[in-house]
Amino acid sequence: MGETDVLILGSGAAGLTCALRLAKAGVAVTVVSKGRLAGGSTLWAQGGISAVFDADDSTDRHVEDTLVAGAGLCDEAAVRFTVERGPACIRWLQDQGVAFTLDDEHPGGGLHLTREGGHSHRRVVHAADATGRAVETTLSSLAAAHPNIQVLEHHLAVDLIVGPEGRAQGAYLLNILNHEVKAHAARAVVLATGGANQVYLYSSNPHGASGDGIAMAWRAGCRVANMEFMQFHPTTLFHADNRNFLISEALRGEGAQLRLPDAANQAGERFMPRFDPRGELAPRDVVARAIDHEMKRLGLRYVFLDITHQPADFIRQHFPSIYQRCLKLGIDITTQPIPVVPSAHFTCGGVLTDLRARTDVDGLYAVGEVACTGLHGANRLASNSLLECLVFGKAAADDLLPRLAGWSAPGPLPVWDESQVTDSDEDVVVSHNWLELRTFMWDYVGIVRTTKRLERAQHRIELLSREITEYYSHHTVSPDLLELRNLVTVADLIVRSALQRHESRGLHHTLDYPGSLSNARPSVLPGRSRDGG
């Protein structure tokens, strides 16, 4: 059995921020990563981090833009809490060694700020078009070298361990390399496992975004909130060999236009002004629905994102990663439009927390995309996600430091019992159910919904859930089985939340209730141990 002061499940920006701040204060931390330490969703984030640095901008304007994007469901206190701490978090990252892009017009070291959809000002700090990579590689290298941080790569949490007094005491961890499951004890546990976007057939996220933390927390008794609000990024590259390569919203911030293919499959009519006066700079839900509408109306497999009107040197300088990746696939974005489609991108809901990152289970914290802090409401404003990771990673560390001394280390934990299970010789069941789940979630619980589609999805989830539970009870666990088990739980939470919302708001758009209610309320589902489910 392993043991630590704080067990952090997940190694993205949120988890590593919390780990480094705790470790600096002398706390023993164990960071668990499904793959290599620097392999989480943060690595793929292109756009940047929103924070107020422009003299013409203000905290109030950033708050207002976030509230508008959140379609009436944001918690204003959480929004202000997050936005006010943005500049300090950026300076902390700079102190850690993250090299952000500087403004050539301000040789004194001013940060270059770009603008993305929903923002009224330029306030997105970035490292070219690979901000997540700059943040993740820097923080992961610091964590790997820190004497107070133990890193467990290639480990996957099976379930949380909650003691008889209702306090988190650790988790069961599967060693993916040797297939052993062991209990890992801790005074406190931090969930930093990311979102659940792999529940959909098309996703911009890496394979590991399977809702593990949300499902585990719900099984442990935590409430989850706003799970119906799954953000679809409007522009993911349409290409057979790169199905999850994101085309950053920053292109639209620098003037890229969405256009329909013409008869010669070139960039034709620009269509966004027909849907919103802000055009390509409308919030993501508006842009994604517009693309979805045009694709269904015309039977298209993709639309074009065109930035060819900008100088070639400007494009290569501002978007080097996107330029190089597309060029390897035969698309020169300086002269050719980019074929794009929407894909599942961000989970706006999650495990309900307060502003200290505490959940309903004592000693259990949730930070980053796994959590529902009240910041995003019904739709996330662009580049607020990494900001949330940094702010709440710090908030969790700040809250843990004075509390840890009062929590004794848990005694011996129950040993993982595999005496009643066998190895499966029918793994095709897992792969088949995985594909079936993601396919009907895409078809029935996607960008545009109806009650009938949601009910169809719910029926299939019930059947799959029974089958997966039986399979889990009788066979040795594997990474694919654990992720499938978590995904079907998350799918159930999404559909149940969506069926409760009899309106269209933000990312939840249903043809049966096209209008919005005058009183916006979050969707809150009790944890399994609380409702007996």
CATH number at residue 305: 3.90.700.10
Q: Are residues 154 and 114 in the same domain?
A: yes
The residue ranking higher by pLDDT, 305 or 108, is: 305
For residue 479, what are its two tokens?
A: 């990474």
Does residue 360 fall inside a structural domain?
yes
pLDDT value of position 530:
43
| pLDDT (average), residues 345-361 | 97
pLDDT value of position 137:
94
Q: Are residues 168 and 284 in the same domain?
A: no
pLDDT value of position 533:
46
Does residue 377 fall inside a structural domain?
yes
Q: Are residues 241 and 360 in the same domain?
A: no
Does residue 122 fall inside a structural domain?
yes
pLDDT surpasses 80 at 500 = yes
Q: How confident is the model at residue 235 (pLDDT cuts 50, 70, 90)?
A: very high
Q: Are residues 357 and 464 in the same domain?
A: no
Does residue 40 fall inside a structural domain?
yes
pLDDT value of position 531:
43
pLDDT surpasses 80 at 483 = yes
Cβ-proximal residues to 233 (8 Å cutoff; 6+ apart), any chain: 204, 246, 249, 284, 288, 342, 343, 344, 345, 346
CA 431 to chain centre: 23
Q: Are residues 267 and 285 in the same domain?
A: yes
105: left (phi over 0), alpha (psi -120 to 50) or beta: alpha
| Residue 258, φ and ψ in degrees, nearest 5 | -90, 130
Answer yes or no: are the C-beta atoms of 393 and 8 closer than 8 Å: no
pLDDT surpasses 90 at 420 = no
97: left (phi over 0), alpha (psi -120 to 50) or beta: left
Q: Are residues 285 and 362 in the same domain?
A: no
Does residue 418 fall inside a structural domain?
no
Q: Are residues 273 and 391 in the same domain?
A: no
Q: What is the CATH number of the domain that holds 54?
A: 3.50.50.60
pLDDT surpasses 90 at 327 = yes
Task: List, edge to edge, every strand of the sheet that includes 230-237.
Answer: 230-237, 338-347, 303-306, 257-261, 267-270
Q: Are residues 67 and 101 in the same domain?
A: yes
Q: Is 284 a catalytic residue?
A: yes
Q: Are residues 66 and 148 in the same domain?
A: yes
Q: What is the CATH number of the domain that holds 436?
A: 1.20.58.100
pLDDT tens sequence across 152-183: 999 999 999 999 889 999 999 999 999 999 99
pLDDT surpasses 80 at 425 = no
Task: Please tell me the least confidently modeled range out of 40-54, 270-284, 399-413, 501-515.
Answer: 40-54
Does residue 449 fall inside a structural domain?
yes
Range of the domain at 445: 428-514
Last residue of a domain, one of 295, 314, 342: 342
Nearest to 288 by CA among 326, 320, 243, 249: 249
pLDDT value of position 529:
65
Q: Are residues 148 and 101 in the same domain?
A: yes
Q: How confident is the model at residue 203 (pLDDT cuts 50, 70, 90)?
A: confident
DSSP 512-524: TS-S--SS----E
State the CB neighbour count (10 A cutoff) for residue 89.
Answer: 23
Last residue of a domain, one of 316, 342, 368: 342
532 to 113, 159, 183: CA distances (angstroms)? 49, 18, 25
pLDDT tens sequence across 77-136: 999 999 999 999 999 999 999 999 998 776 555 899 998 878 999 999 999 878 989 999
| pLDDT (average), residues 252-266 | 94
Q: How many domains does the chain have?
A: 3
Does residue 527 fall inside a structural domain?
no
Q: Are residues 383 and 369 in the same domain?
A: yes
Residue among 80, 123, 187, 284 flagged as catalytic: 284
Single pTM value for the model: 0.90
Quote the mean pLDDT of the chain: 93
| pLDDT (average), residues 23-41 | 92
Highest mean pLDDT among 83-87, 263-267, 283-287, 419-423: 83-87
pLDDT value of position 286:
86
Q: Are residues 83 and 140 in the same domain?
A: yes
Does residue 83 fall inside a structural domain?
yes
